[in-house]
Structure 1
Amino acid sequence: MTATASPEHAAVSGGASVARSYRFEVVKLVSQWRIRLLVLACWTAPALFVAGVSRQSTLPTDTLFGRWMHATGWAGPLVTLGFAGTWALPLLVSVVAGDVFAAEDRLGTWRHLLVAVRSPRRIFAAKALASLTVILLLVAGLAVSSTAGGLAAVGNQPLVGLDGRLLAPGDAAGRVLLAWTCVLAPALALAGIGLLGSIVLARSPMGLLLPALVALAMQLAQMLPLPVAVRLALPGCAFTAWNGLFTSPVQLAPLLTGIVVGLLWAAAATALACALFLRRDFTDLTDDGSARRAVTVGALPLAGLFGVTVAVVAATTTVAGSGIDRAGVQASLATEFAHLYRMQTRQLHRPAVTEAQLNTSATCTKAGVQDDARGPGNDWRCVVSWHLPGVAATGSAVYQLDITADGRFVADGDGPKGVNGYFLVRTPTGDAPNPLWQFDGDVELLSTSPKG
């Protein structure tokens, strides 16, 4: 009589499956007190922050959409998104992905995993998928919590976009959701770098800090007046490129470029981490990684990917330099002023006027340069002109612009007082915030056709 092995015995003798290993890794991650604390914080703290700030008299006007937190609940999740892309997400990714492999080195538990799973490939897949699950849980918590806090504190009101256009609540909700979805690409890129650092650097604490340090380096680079091709080739570009979702037409080119670059970095870093993990000698208990391996296996391939990406972006656009020029600034400012002027008209209960009737235009100079003004800086000065039906005189208003290297600008009204020189306007129902006094805008950096 021939004996046959049962399916359960065969599964045990062949090692744990990816599904079982994945469940084990997820349980192991969420059983850690710091992960539980992060999950709790991500699902509660943003709601409390947004609700609290929305009820304060002073708003974070230096943050994108911060000046609208009194007016609509959809501004809160965007303020949170700006903070998350700068600080929260890199730190969260570091804690999760930057330690998922190194923890086994510190605890000396690799031999137990190898006996149970019997496949380094399945171990890597389970750990990578578990890290991704926890990261998605944390990002979802930030988005849901901040949205709930904003809607509960202020309500489901229209949102003013970065071109001055008023977005209906349903449209605003869709764009907010899409913006949070888009930042998953750079978050995954940092997660892939975290996995690579956790494997290459093993017990070294630098593996845990690597995603945060890379994110910090990218933030510093974004502050510099880099060529637009270099800026868009950074894996964290989509952390700021989501701004283009709140203009009309939507600035898709920078956003799609940022998403593709982020996903390419995520795939490349994860593939490098997997290849290195599969080649590891687990019989050597003193294997803590090496500087040579970190450079040759980790840094050099990613540096090569960055160089190729810069070349491809530069070859597919005609924009040179920073992408911020006089024509683009004037067009963005004139368009936004026209939309906000109509908002002020409704506040003051004046006769309605269309953008076509206003025929708004802007003339800008930068530090005394008029014809070839370009680049970021706080030395832009613009004069906006418009026409009212039945009025012979041309209206004009002065703005001082502070334009950052990523194309975002803050326009500060400098008179006349009745238009943009004071932060309040007197309406028939009382004083109200003046939409023309200060506002945020966005200059499109990337174009597939020459700018005029």
Structure 2
Amino acid sequence: MTAHATEADTAAAADDNVAVFHPVSIARGYRFEVVKLVSQWRIRLLVAVCWIVPGLFVAAVSQQSTLPSDTLFGRWMHATGWAGPLVVLGFAGSWALPLLTSLVAGDVFAAEDRLGTWRHLLVAVRSPRRIFAAKALASLTVLLALVVGLVVSSVVGGLAAIGNQPLVGLDGHLLSPSDAAGNVFLAWLCALAPTLALAAIGLLGSVSLGKSPMGLLLPAIVALAMQLAQLLPLPVALRLALPGYAFISWNGLFTNPGQLEPLLTAVAVSLVWAVVATVLAYLVFVRRDFTNLTHDGAERRAITLGLVPLVALLAATFGIVAAATPSTGSGITQPKIQRSVATAFGHLYRMQTKELNRPAVTEAQLRTSAACTKSDGQVAQQGAGNDWRCVVSWHLPGVQVTGTAIYQLDVTSDGRYVADGDGPKEVNGYFLVHTQQGDAPNPLWQFDGNVVLLESSSKG
């Protein structure tokens, strides 16, 4: 009896001494992962660059005599401080943001493979699911800090160098400083959607490819492939189905009325890609065998749960966008170009009239129209190319003769164009015009425009 009691007491004491282990909370894991990321010299350098360099660049370029006129809104950097952040956004969408997602999200899981620290992390956290959530949230936080730095730095640099002046939109209409500010911040906000999509692809590459350098480079490679695709004469639906189109479609915020349908479609597609790629990365991660110390991510599961679903997603989004929009082909047609050029010229002509202190005229009185041809009518009158030629006509009150001006257009596949004045010299032949206050940029010498690719958005 005593022996049985002793054994029972011993068993009870042993049970009392057994520690109960609980997984570390996501909040604690998140703080740990943020500290790990910020402690890296590479991340600290990126933060410093994003918060300092754009402002210095915008301020320096705005004071130069030569402007980046081949960049969207670059020709207006002398006129307003709100042009600089848009120039930085154009560069960031093409190069900076893809590289940032590669260096942050593309390495957040692969770093543990290179260092061989997965077993230690699992012992500390005791939950692969919470590890994934903490790492994904930490990389998102760092990316947001970098993007905010790009925005704040470029805005401060532009306003400090030039000031809070009105901005000329892509159809020639003038945006007040408050409207320009709202649209600039909204454009950067829309650019977050494709950034999240690339970050999710980076998470997927980091999980699937392990120590392979391809995991780190995957977001940058995908972004480069999408940029090359945008240069091709793709159907409109396929162009919008690519997750990076929102890096371009923010242009529609700077027309009146705004070209919102392509932008909203692009943002929605990017967010869908972000969600799907993140879920795929999670599925690959929680199914991984962490007991295999030689794991390098090169498994069949990386293809079946990574590449194949993304290809299927591209096909699905293409089908949905094609069914939802009536546009076919390139979306760049002769009537669209003529409407766009005539509208922009009408707005800018009034701006030039004000600069030269001539009698004010309304756009209704001008009755501006444009006749545009591609390759002198020898080819189909649609599609991108640098062989578009437009003759713009307008009327002035009390003047019998119809005014005309010639422009050579270089239209890109995404609908953006640059109209280069080709006479008469009194209208668009010179870069500067002589005003009572001195020389000022001639708004009709060259101007940027945007052809909306969706049929439904271009009507009215």
TM-score, normalization: structure 1?
0.96
CA distance in 2, matches of 1:48, 1:371: 46
Instruction: Give 1:436-451 correspondences, 5 Å limit.
Output: 436-448=444-456
Q: Which of these residues, 185, 197, 216, is aligned with residue 205 of structure 2?
A: 197
Task: Give the aligned partner of residue 261 of structure 2.
Answer: 253
Q: Does 1:128 align with 2:136?
A: yes
For the Cα contact (< 8 Å) 1:100–1:131, is it kept in 2?
yes
Residue of structure 2 equivalent to 1:313: 321
Q: How far is 1:294 from its partner?
A: 2.9
Once residues 104 and 283 of structure 2 are traced to their aligned partners in structure 1, the CA distance between those partners, rounded to angstroms, is 20
Give per-residue Cα distances to partners, 1:355-412, cap 9 Å, x unaligned.
Answer: 1110000000001228951000000000000000111110000000000001100000
Residue aligning to 1:174: 182
Query: Could you tell me how far apart the structure 2 residues matched to 1:438 and 1:126 are?
Result: 50
Equivalent residue number for residue 39 of structure 1 = 47
Aligned match of 1:79: 87
Shift in Å, 1:289? 1.4
CA contact (8 A) 1:15 1:115 kept: no
Deviations 1:27-79 (A, max 9, x none): 00000000000000000000000000000000000100000000000000000
User: Is the partner of 1:349 in helix, strand or coil?
Assistant: coil
Instruction: Kindly indicate whether the alpha-carbon contact (under 8 Å) linking 1:128 and 1:195 is maintained by their aligned counterparts in 2.
Output: yes
Equivalent residues of 1:399, 1:412 under 8 A apart: yes
1:287 pairs with 2:295:
yes
- TM superposition shift of 1:429: 2.6
Task: Please tell me the residue identity of whatever aligns with 1:432.
Answer: A
Q: SS at 1:448's partner residue?
A: helix
Match of 2:305 among 288, 292, 297: 297
CA contact (8 A) 1:318 1:450 kept: no
2:251 corresponds in structure 1 to 243
Q: In the comparison of the two structures, how many residue pairs are matched? A: 447
Query: 2:216 corresponds to which residue?
Result: 208
The SS at the match of 2:92 is helix
Which secondary structure state, in structure 1, belongs to the residue aligned with residue 418 of structure 2? strand
Shift of 1:428: 2.4
Q: Where do 5+ consecutive residues of structure 1 fail to align?
A: none
Tell me how far 1:87 sits from its aligned partner: 0.2
Within the candidate set 399, 407, 410, 1:391 is matched to 399
Higher helix share: 2
RMSD of aligned C-alpha atoms?
A: 1.8
Which letter does structure 2 place at the counterpart of 1:369?
A: G
Mark the CA change 1:396 to 1:221 in structure 2 (over 3 Å): closer, same or farther: same
- Aligned equivalent of 1:228: 236
* CA distance, structure 2, for counterparts of residue 354 and residue 347 of structure 1: 15
Tell me which of 81, 99, 114 is aligned to 1:106.
114
CA distance in 2, matches of 1:344, 1:274: 57
CA offset at residue 116 of structure 1? 1.1
Amino acid at match of 1:142: L
Deviation at residue 297 of structure 1 after TM alignment: 1.6
- Equivalences for residues 147-186 of structure 1 within 5 A: 147-186=155-194
1:266 aligns with 2:266: no
Aligned counterpart, 1:65: 73
- For the pair 1:418 / 2:426, whether they are aligned, the reply is yes
Between 416-425 and 117-126, the greater mean CA deviation after superposition: 416-425
CA distance in 2, matches of 1:75, 1:248: 17
8 Å CA contact 1:363–1:382 kept in 2: the answer is yes
Superposition pairs for residues 3-22 of structure 1, below 5 Å?
13-22=21-30
Q: Within 2, Cα distance between the matches of 1:396 and 1:383?
A: 7
1:334 maps to 342
Measured in 1, the distance between the counterparts of 2:112 and 2:458 equals 54
For 2:151, the equivalent position in structure 1 comes to 143
- Give the superposition deviation at 1:129: 0.2
Native 8 Å contact 1:411 1:438 kept in 2:
yes
Report the secondary structure of 1:378's partner residue. strand
**Amino acid paired to 1:236:** G
Q: With structure 2 as the length reference, what TM-score do the two structures score?
A: 0.95
Q: State the alpha-carbon separation in 2 of the partners of residues 113 and 417 from structure 1.
A: 71
Whole-Å Cα distance in 2 between the matches of residues 232 and 30 of structure 1?
35
Alignment of 1:343-422 (within 5 A): 343-369=351-377, 372-422=380-430
Fraction of identical pairs, as percent: 73
Q: Is the 8 A contact 1:326 1:372 kept in 2?
A: no
State the distance in 2 between where 1:223 and 1:398 align.
Answer: 26
Q: CA deviation at 1:287?
A: 1.3
Shift of 1:449: 7.1
C-alpha separation in 2, matches of 1:381 and 1:344: 22
Superposed displacement of residue 451, structure 1: 6.3
Larger Rg: 2
In 1: Cα distance, 2:289 partner to 2:271 partner: 30
SS in 2 for 1:183: helix
Q: Partners of 2:187 and 2:177 in 1: how far apart?
A: 15
